[in-house]
A and B are shown apart, each in its own frame.
Chain A
Amino acid sequence: MILTRLATIATGAALLVACGSDRDIVQYGPNPDLPEQQRGLLPNMTIADPAGWGDRRPVVPAGFTIAPIATDLKIPRHTLVLPNGDILVTEGKGGGNAPVMRPKDLFVGYFLGKGTSPVKGGDRITLLRDANGDGVYEQRAIFAENLNAPYGIALVGNRLYVANQDALIRFDYRPGQIRASGPPVTVTPLPAAINHHWTKSLAASPDGRSLYVGIGSNSNIGERGMAVEEGRALILQVDAETGASRPFATGLRNPTALAIQPGIGQLWAVVNERDELGPNLVPDYLTSVRQGAFYGWPYSYWGANPDRRVRPFKEDMVKRAVRPDYALGSHRAPLGLSFSAPAMGDRFANGAFIGMHGSWNREVQVGYKVVFVPFRGGRAAGVPVDFVTGFQADGKTFGRPVGVTVDPRGALIVADDLSNTVWRVTPVRPPAPARGRQS
């Protein structure tokens, strides 16, 4: 206990030193500090320097343990825990087809590539099974392959929906199945031209009649022109039966993960905000998504703060922009979102876990961890708590969290697309009386 506390103090002190002028800036919660916009001649970039985990492990809070349950995957992104406890992992790497428009694109493409895994995306879904419930996922099968950069995944009854980078597709699913029984059916094509932000996040409405698909923008702030932003930077509501779709909410620059709040069925999203306004702008956020709402991109951020890099500029859109619920900090790149369950223990029972891929266009790196945002009265409230850390040390980066999924039996599944690992965090419990897994 004392050791833990000491470690916390030491970490805190290190953070203060590391952040320098950032220390006065509070960027979580409903009212984040929003400093002046700034952009020097050269953008600040610190690209992750990848290294193997070796004997290291990610760090989890006291009372929890972490173990890799699958390694050597091909760019794992999001996970889904099936009713029988099997885990599906989407693997792929999309985009990359955006034409080079400016000399800058050549440099940025090269540098960003250095901070990611060199492995080719699997374009497949892997199934992991722990048949005897001992926490070791001894069986591994390829559930489906030859997909196109699958990312979001959701199960509704006996239908498994997968969001490829260019289409929402559907498989039939029977409990216990380890391989899809046939090729997928296309529910609806999704906007895929250029695909600057290619990840298509996915959640199903509680009644299963609608699917929500998060579609990222085709640029940082409209520098490719607004014509290519048609149908982008929004959450699409898709009719599960007919495939008909309509925008559910707009102005969300890159909604990288969607989740339904248990109990009340509210849709939530984590969104990656814009770059090149300084190291502490614009905060990425977690928000409940209001139907018909406009969240600002590209004309404004965090409500009505105008971003005049966009021309023609639309003042009326700034006035329309609604404020998100909860800031997560700038450039942290949240890519995973999952609501907790009582089995995660009292401290982490009520809230949401968020996987943060980590920054690149900021001198001091931030993100690179999984945080827990506590909820009170159905709303995000209080200080985010570090849940999985240790993805970076000694200037090296060992992993980058993407999708997080709570297993209601008491585990958090974390996909790591740098080390191509799926991690499983579980509460350490006194040995419980033997209990049937399927009961």
Chain B
Amino acid sequence: MASPKHGPARRIIHPVHAVLLASSLPLFLGALLSDWAYSSTYQTQWLNFASWLIAGALIFVGAALLWAAIDFFRADLARDRAGALSILVLLTTFVLAFINALVHAKDAWATMPAGLILSVVVFVLALVATWLGFSTLRAGATR
């Protein structure tokens, strides 16, 4: 419950939120590696893998984004700059990953090099978003 002395409480990240946030990471990493495998072998099956991995990651990022947004606008929870930044990075991850999904809907080499570049950028963004998400929320646990 909220402590009257310190304002609204900061909490430990909810386990389900944690799963949603972190799950996109291995999927985006898999997409990145698949893109890299396609660009070095020209085996189109790698592109199919990448397409599904991005689609799966989008679902997790979307759900994590929704969760974070609801938390952010809840009156009883703290809002700070770190939390806002975390959501902003997560939103950017989602938008770029969606664009990456559209790029991956092109045929064969038409996906490249944009697909590989986007996969790298999106993976790094997802990493940052996850880190920010965990670190900003975890702070409240020790109080």
Contacts and interface: CB of A to CB of B under 8 A. Distances in A.
Contact of B109 (A220, A225, A310): A310
Q: Which of B51, B103, B105 has the most CB of A within 10 A?
A: B105
Given A225-B44, A225-B45, A103 B51 contact: yes
Interface in A83-115: 101-104
Contact of B43 (A101, A221, A225): A225
A102 B52 contact: yes
A220 B103 CA distance: 16
B107 A220 contact: yes
Contacts of B55: 103
Interface string B32-55: 000000000011110110011001
A42 B106 contact: no
A367 B107 CA distance: 24
B101 interface: yes
A42 B103 CA distance: 9
Given A276-B110, A310-B108, A311-B108, A223 B99 contact: no
A120 interface: no
B102 interface: yes
A182 interface: no
A312 B42 contact: yes
A309 B47 CA distance: 13
B104 interface: yes
Nearest to B110: A309
B107 A276 contact: yes
Interface in B88-138: 99, 101-110
A224 interface: yes
Contact of B44 (A42, A43, A224): A224
Nearest to B42: A311
Given A103-B55, A311-B42, A312-B42, A221 B101 contact: no
A42 to B, nearest CB: 6
Given A102-B51, A104-B51, A223 B105 contact: no
Contacts of B109: 308-311, 313
Rank and list the top 3 A-B pairs by shortest CB-CB distance, nearest first. Answer: A223-B107, A104-B105, A311-B42
Interface of A: 39, 41-43, 101-104, 219-225, 276, 308-313
Given A39-B106, A220-B107, A222-B107, 4 more contacts: A102-B105, A103-B105, A276-B107, A308-B109
Interface of B: 42-45, 47-48, 51-52, 55, 99, 101-110
